[in-house]
Amino acid sequence: MKSFQEYLEYMIQEGVNDPGIFKAFFTAGGPGSGKSAVASRVGAGGRGSKMSPHGLKVVDSDPAFQLLLKRAGMAANPENIDSPEGQALRDRAKSFTKRQQSTFLEGRLGLLIDGTGKDYGKIKKMSDALRNIGYDTYMLFVNTALETAIERDKYRERVLGPERVTTLWNQVQKNLGKFQSYFGRENFILIDNNKSFEDNKVILDKMFVEIGKLIDKPPTSRAAHAWMKSQRPQMR
């Protein structure tokens, strides 16, 4: 079994050879938007994934949270999630995911950071920190009409109900323009997911190719190139 230091060195070595090095993709979309399914379809991760088809490391606390709820014998419903016990489990899941992300960052690995996009300030702060160490950051925003989101929520494993879906949908929608402005036209990908997957197949296939092109592009920052240059002699 590797020691923690050996594991960090492995992550750094993997990072130097990672095609997605110094790339971070944020996902955004409210409940019922089909965000996780679309992200998986276009090669940028998906709920429960450890790695995306494009090789990005997935950062998502929900799988750990769902596992902790199951181990505690708690159904994933709003009552349990909002209870003190549920929130304590969510905090544990977030703490684990934060440590996992820190390990990925040691190797500057390509990241897929899954979220709803309801907290613009939190995402901007995280993206700014990533940019400061050399990352190029992007957003994949999956958009749907409120009526579509409410209808799809009925068939989700974790049903939230119309009132909560509406609240979250409004929180995400108010940030759409802010995200477009912050990430810029080339780094912001907007997907209209009101139709079925079959109807969207051509668009999603095109997105898969486009995201692959973004990942394959060399990092743009001087900090990224300096880090890669400093690490390569250690890999010989």
- Say how far apart CA 4 and CA 7 lie, in whole Å: 5
Residue 44 pLDDT > 60:
no
Which residue, 26, 25, 49, is CA-closest to 37? 49
Q: What is the DSSP letter of 156?
A: S
- Say how far apart CA 217 and CA 110 lie, in whole Å: 12
State residue 1's pLDDT score: 47
State residue 182's pLDDT score: 98
Q: How confident is the model at residue 233 (pLDDT cuts 50, 70, 90)?
A: low
Percent of the chain clearing pLDDT 70 (strictly above): 84
Specify the pTM: 0.81
Q: Measured in whole angstroms, how far is the alpha carbon of residue 235 from the centre of its chain?
A: 29
In the beta sheet, which residues pair with residue 111?
A: 24, 57
State residue 198's pLDDT score: 73
- Indicate the burial class of 1 (C-beta count within 10 angstroms; 0-12, 13-18, 19 or more): exposed
Tokens of 97: 């995911």
Burial annotation 110-121 (CB, 10 A radius, 16+ → b, else e): bbbbbbbbbebe
The answer to whether the beta carbons of residues 103 and 11 sit under 8 Å apart is yes
What are the distances in angstroms from CA 95 to CA 59, 90, 173?
A: 12, 9, 27
Domains of the chain: 19-60+109-235 (3.40.50.300)
Strands 111-113 and 23-28: parallel
- Say how far apart CA 31 and CA 159 lie, in whole Å: 9
| pLDDT top residue among 100 and 41 | 100
What are the distances in angstroms from CA 155 to CA 7, 30, 36, 48, 135?
A: 40, 15, 14, 18, 37
